[in-house]
Amino acid sequence: MEVIIALLIVLTFVIIIAGVPIFVSLLLTGVLSLAVLSSSTGTPMATVAVSQAIYNGMGNLPLLAIPFFMLAGEIMNRGGITEKLIRFALLLIGRLPGSLAHASIVSSMFFGGITGSAQASASCIGGILIPSMKKEGYSVREAAGVISASAVCGPIIPPSIIMVVYATAVGASVGSMFMGGIIPGLMLGLVLMFVVFLRNRVHAFPRRTDKPTSQEVKKTLIDAIIPLGMPVIVVGGIMGGVCTPTEAGAISVVYSLIVSLFVIRTLQMKDLWGILLNAVNSAAPLLLIIACARVFSYGLTALQMPVMVNDLILSITENKWVFLLLVNILLLIMGMFMDGGAAVIILAPILAPVAMAMDISLVHFGLVMCLNLTMGCITPPLGYCLFITGKIGKISIEDTVRGTIPYLIGEMFVLLAITYIPALVTWVPEILGYRI
């Protein structure tokens, strides 16, 4: 049976690499697993389980947070919020050397608190700042590199789409995952800014000399208060126990609509249809993958694959720190070739039970997994953010990768820190009374 399971897993990745949609690959492997089980036990194939798994995969209440946050982010972006956040970030940075590079990191952290998506951050922040950085004298390679790397902050600072996917896949608390991401998200931003500081000593980045007037400062602060109110409401509501993450997502949609339509008036009613279509086009593929992944997970679980994987890993090592090192290596490789959300759906149900058997917190393990796979957005050959920023800057993917490497190394240190110092993840959820 072990050989059959290994063949099914290999078949899944071969089909995906061949260009077949991920949801089709997962569904096919799940159905084949049930067929193998039926053949080996001499019982009728559980065809009803396929439809039930698909329905349960899409009908999970916490998953509603995903389309809500995507829609809220789309509304805020189309409402011209990005420019306001960048101006506010520049005001905070002041006239530090490499101010635009620092501002891109801070802006990505703010923007991540609205969208929870690395691709959205790279596209929106990069679309504005890469041309500005080029105009000020930065190399396009450096501009694309720092913005690609800072986009990784988005899915780690709450709210986070990939954390919702993980929590749903393993039965963890979405709220505890969000709270667990606060310190790692801030660490990412600070480490990236430290890398900018070090690189400035070698490359002497441009330094802004203009000083904003008091009127400009006042306007920038007022403009920033409104969009920054959304992450405050979302995180504050969850921390205070006022609302669940799904309810917070719904509140963020209502808040962004009121702000964009009636307060700053940057949107009109006729714009909403296009915004809804974009949000649906972003959320539907992920939800479809999650639904089909339930069939995949159900089939392989029925074949006792989690038990076999647990026994295999424990035969290699019973040391949880060695296990986490092996998982990090596996995930870094997976992130290079597969979308982070899809990789979480496939691997989390397999690896999380082993982590629990080794007394590793689900929240700690989840943050390690989410950060690791999110870094796949800036590692070739898949690297969505690399392609986005490279296209904006009109440079090759090779140049974009070269610009990103110093910042990727900094993020590796953060990954190692949260891997081997669990308190960096679990401290905030614990003091707030969340289950970890």
The secondary structure of 151-170 as a DSSP string is: GGGTTTSSS-HHHHHHHHHH
**What pLDDT score was predicted for residue 290?**
78
In this prediction, residue 360 has a pLDDT band, given cuts at 50, 70 and 90, of very high
SS3 44: coil
The one-letter amino acid code at 414 reads V
Whether the per-residue pLDDT at 176 is higher than 80: the answer is yes
Whether the per-residue pLDDT at 401 is higher than 70: the answer is yes
What is the DSSP-derived secondary structure letter of residue 263? I
In this prediction, residue 367 has a pLDDT band, given cuts at 50, 70 and 90, of very high
Region 153-158 average pLDDT: 87
Region 204-209 average pLDDT: 77
Considering only 51-55, 66-70, 367-371, 416-420, which range has the smallest mean pLDDT?
Answer: 51-55
What's the CA gap between 363 and 174, in Å, rounded?
9
Q: Give 333's contacts (C-beta < 8 A, 6+ positions apart).
A: none
What's the CA gap between 158 and 170, in Å, rounded?
19
Let me know if 302 is exposed, middle or buried by CB neighbors in 10 A (0-12, 13-18, 19+).
Answer: middle
254: its two tokens: 């209502």
What's the CA gap between 245 and 68, in Å, rounded?
10
**What pLDDT score was predicted for residue 320?**
92
**What pLDDT score was predicted for residue 188?**
94
**What pLDDT score was predicted for residue 2?**
67
SS3 209: coil
SS3 182: helix
pLDDT tens per residue across span 41-85: 777 766 777 777 777 767 677 777 888 888 887 887 777 777 787
Whether the per-residue pLDDT at 405 is higher than 90: the answer is yes
Q: Give 71's contacts (C-beta < 8 A, 6+ positions apart).
A: 253, 275, 276, 279, 283
**What pLDDT score was predicted for residue 321?**
93
Query: How many other CB atoms are there within 10 angstroms of residue 187's CB atom?
Result: 20
Q: How far is CA 305 from CA 8, 302, 327, 393, in A?
A: 11, 8, 17, 45
**What pLDDT score was predicted for residue 368?**
96
Query: How many other CB atoms are there within 10 angstroms of residue 265's CB atom?
Result: 10
What's the CA gap between 330 and 314, in Å, rounded?
16
Whether the per-residue pLDDT at 107 is higher than 80: the answer is yes
195 and 79 Cβ atoms separated by less than 8 Å: no
**What pLDDT score was predicted for residue 37?**
77
Tell me, rounded to whole angstroms, the distance of Cα 167 from its chain centroid: 13
**What pLDDT score was predicted for residue 57?**
67
124 and 89 Cβ atoms separated by less than 8 Å: no
To 5 degrees, how large is the angle CA 6–CA 373–CA 294? Answer: 50
**What pLDDT score was predicted for residue 338?**
77
- Residue that wins the pLDDT comparison between 208 and 399: 399
In this prediction, residue 322 has a pLDDT band, given cuts at 50, 70 and 90, of very high
**What pLDDT score was predicted for residue 194?**
95
Considering only 103-112, 160-169, 230-239, which range has the smallest mean pLDDT?
Answer: 230-239
What is the DSSP-derived secondary structure letter of residue 435? -
74: its two tokens: 């789309």
Whether the per-residue pLDDT at 347 is higher than 90: the answer is no
pLDDT tens per residue across span 3-38: 777 777 777 778 777 777 878 888 888 888 888 877
SS3 240: coil
Angle of helix 99-115 versus helix 65-78 axis, rounded to 10: 130
Query: How many other CB atoms are there within 10 angstroms of residue 132's CB atom?
Result: 15
Query: What length is written for the chain?
Result: 436
Region 192-198 average pLDDT: 94
33 and 301 Cβ atoms separated by less than 8 Å: no
Per DSSP, what are the bridge partners of residue 97?
Answer: 207
369 and 326 Cβ atoms separated by less than 8 Å: no
